[in-house]
Chain A
């Protein structure tokens, strides 16, 4: 199957400090891909760079292609067609992501006009349908309200409705539930999963919440310090993480069941992008690191079990008894 989006050797630097060190990433049509990592690892920057949404002080290199279109270096008008039209994006803090001085209906209709040429009454009809679809109660009555008159969860629903307005092939959801309350998070995750199935649209789900990623995604990339360190099917990766960093993320999480014991944190902190370690960026915090790791940086290489891994001394592959981890787990695939 041809890829919907191909990212090749994408690099980003802010004020000549590199923050993204050459990302290779494919998104297949209709798939749900998760990007996981801690703040500053470059998971959001990757997609902001791909869509040309970074501030002008950022220097971007590499290649991003969407079908036959090369997005890097594309003229602004062409990018504007892609944004919202073929690739839509929603963000972390929904309450501040909507324009506070414009009525929500107008913000929705703007997207409909841009990408589907709808104006006037048909635009309003369609906007109301979208509001209905994302679960805004009394859409007609609330069409002419301002964003501050909606709760955070409803603002995120409105953002999603706006993203769907252009009937995109790909929805990038950048930490879409982080700012929301637990019960509302669950609603939004549920909505995203449902809409992806209904609209047959690929989703990139950017999150630091491993649990949420596990529920929404089929494939996961784990990023650390501007690089992908492990990539694979969600069941495989979550059942048996092989990069020590991925493993560390799981161990650091408290659980809702089992004994209440001390957690296993990853020691130290994320490196300053201006002072990256010479070898593997994770080596200073890694309990498995050896001399090699401090001097040489491992490349992201395909493994026998199908995943990609950037580690010289990874955790062992699944033992024979657990070969079935290759198969996706129940409930993950829709």
Chain B
């Protein structure tokens, strides 16, 4: 068990390192921050000075090494725009993003899973067909289209809700819903198929044959088995609580990490972009790790067997 966790931890660290390295290299190959920040018309001396100041004149591998040295001592660099510590800029935005993504996650779980399970238990009924239809609609419509449609209806036409910005809970409503719809669709479809698969298993028939009440067959025998595949998808969704907000935050001008990422990439604000990617990767990796451990808890077949 301990070796298993250790192996997973090492793998997680390696994954984060790989993401950071990739981001580092791609960001530096894809455009010169000096050009972007200072504008195209500045004299060469100013550009050189800027590069020297930010260490961009050194060879790539040297930059890379000093970047890592800094990170290990807790220094995530400064934003090139206002020279404030990048990590602070990013962490300042985290609460705003979570204000959207956490309610969205709850919506996904709270609507997607029950809808999928209900559909599976009433297979081929009108409700089932309705759930499938809405689920497909949900995850095929891109969130920017969905967001704009919702804005058009609830903000522009009905004037019930604000169309953007942050402030009251009403401000968060439309973006959170927009963000959740695709996930609801995916989870509904996934839970449905997982549940249908489980309900067809011999042990479900055994439970019925021994006289277990129908509700208890579903609750006590089917759900614990269906949980394993569903947890995989949920883990992925939890892993993207930070990264999933990019498009929606932009549509609703929500001052979260997603918008900061867009702006920082456009500006080639290297330290900020790297910080954001690091956090996204870390959250994803941690949630994957939790999912792996959950598997063992949910399915005893995946646990170590003592010799008997």
Q: Let me know if chains A and B touch directly in the complex, using CB atoms closer than 8 Å.
A: yes
B207 x A99 contact (CB < 8 A): yes
Instruction: Choose from B124, B203, B299, B308 the contact partner of A98 (Cβ within 8 Å).
Output: B203
State the total of A-B contacts with C-beta under 8 angstroms.
83
A217 to chain B, nearest CB (A): 21
Closest chain B residue to A148, Cβ basis? B301
Number of contacting residues on B, CB 8 A? Answer: 24
**0/1 string, A64-96, CB within 8 A of B gives 1:** 000000000000110011111100110101001
Q: Report the separation of the CA atoms of residues A101 and B297 in the bound assembly, to the nearest whole angstrom.
A: 10
B299 x A101 contact (CB < 8 A): yes
Interface centre among B206, B305, B308 (most CB of A within 10 A): B206
Interface centre among B207, B298, B301, B308 (most CB of A within 10 A): B207
Residue B130 CB within 8 A of the other chain: no
Residues of A within 8 A of B214 (CB): 76, 80
Closest chain B residue to A163, Cβ basis? B210
Residue B165 CB within 8 A of the other chain: no
Closest chain A residue to B308, Cβ basis? A149
B102 to chain A, nearest CB (A): 29
B206 x A51 contact (CB < 8 A): no
A53 x B209 contact (CB < 8 A): yes
Residues of B within 8 A of A100 (CB): 203, 225, 299-301
A101 x B211 contact (CB < 8 A): no
A96 x B203 contact (CB < 8 A): yes
Residue A97 CB within 8 A of the other chain: yes
Residue A115 CB within 8 A of the other chain: yes
Q: Report the separation of the CA atoms of residues A165 and B305 in the bound assembly, to the nearest whole angstrom.
A: 28
Residue A199 CB within 8 A of the other chain: no
Instruction: Choose from B124, B205, B211, B305 the contact partner of A80 (Cβ within 8 Å).
Output: B211
Closest chain A residue to B199, Cβ basis? A55
Question: Quick one: given A110-B212, A111-B210, are A53 and B205 in contact (CB under 8 Å)?
Answer: yes
Q: Report the separation of the CA atoms of residues A82 and B220 in the bound assembly, to the nearest whole angstrom.
A: 20
Residues of B within 8 A of A165 (CB): 210
Residue B8 CB within 8 A of the other chain: no
Residue B208 CB within 8 A of the other chain: yes
A162 x B210 contact (CB < 8 A): yes
Residues of B within 8 A of A149 (CB): 305, 308
Question: Quick one: given A99-B203, A102-B224, are A81 and B211 in contact (CB under 8 Å)?
Answer: yes
A48 to chain B, nearest CB (A): 8
B301 x A99 contact (CB < 8 A): no
Residues of A within 8 A of B225 (CB): 99-101
B127 to chain A, nearest CB (A): 14
Q: Report the separation of the CA atoms of residues A97 and B205 in the bound assembly, to the nearest whole angstrom.
A: 8
Q: Report the separation of the CA atoms of residues A145 and B307 in the bound assembly, to the nearest whole angstrom.
A: 12
Residues of A within 8 A of B209 (CB): 51, 53, 83-84, 88-89, 91
Residue B39 CB within 8 A of the other chain: no
A91 x B205 contact (CB < 8 A): yes
Question: Quick one: given A100-B300, A101-B298, A102-B224, are A111 and B211 in contact (CB under 8 Å)?
Answer: yes
Q: Report the separation of the CA atoms of residues A98 and B206 in the bound assembly, to the nearest whole angstrom.
A: 7
Q: Report the separation of the CA atoms of residues A83 and B210 in the bound assembly, to the nearest whole angstrom.
A: 5
Residue B51 CB within 8 A of the other chain: no
A101 x B205 contact (CB < 8 A): no
A96 x B211 contact (CB < 8 A): no
A286 to chain B, nearest CB (A): 35
Residue B43 CB within 8 A of the other chain: no
Q: Report the separation of the CA atoms of residues A164 and B221 in the bound assembly, to the nearest whole angstrom.
A: 20
A88 to chain B, nearest CB (A): 7
Q: Report the separation of the CA atoms of residues A80 and B208 in the bound assembly, to the nearest whole angstrom.
A: 8
Instruction: Choose from A77, A91, A101 the contact partner of B206 (Cβ within 8 Å).
Output: A91
Residues of B within 8 A of A110 (CB): 210, 212, 220
Q: Report the separation of the CA atoms of residues A91 and B203 in the bound assembly, to the nearest whole angstrom.
A: 10
Closest chain A residue to B228, Cβ basis? A101
Chain A residues with CB under 8 Å of chain B are: 51, 53, 57, 76-77, 80-85, 88-89, 91, 93, 96-102, 110-111, 114-115, 142, 145-146, 148-149, 159, 162-163, 165-166
Can you list 11 pairs linking A and B with CB atoms under 8 Å apart?
A: A53-B209, A57-B124, A80-B213, A84-B210, A91-B205, A99-B206, A99-B207, A99-B221, A146-B301, A149-B305, A149-B308
User: Which 4 A-B pairs give the minimum distances between C-beta atoms?
Assistant: A84-B211, A84-B210, A83-B211, A146-B300
New A-B pairs, 15, CB < 8 Å, besides A84-B212, A96-B203, A114-B211: A53-B205, A53-B208, A80-B213, A89-B209, A91-B202, A96-B201, A97-B203, A101-B300, A111-B211, A114-B210, A142-B308, A146-B300, A148-B301, A163-B210, A166-B210
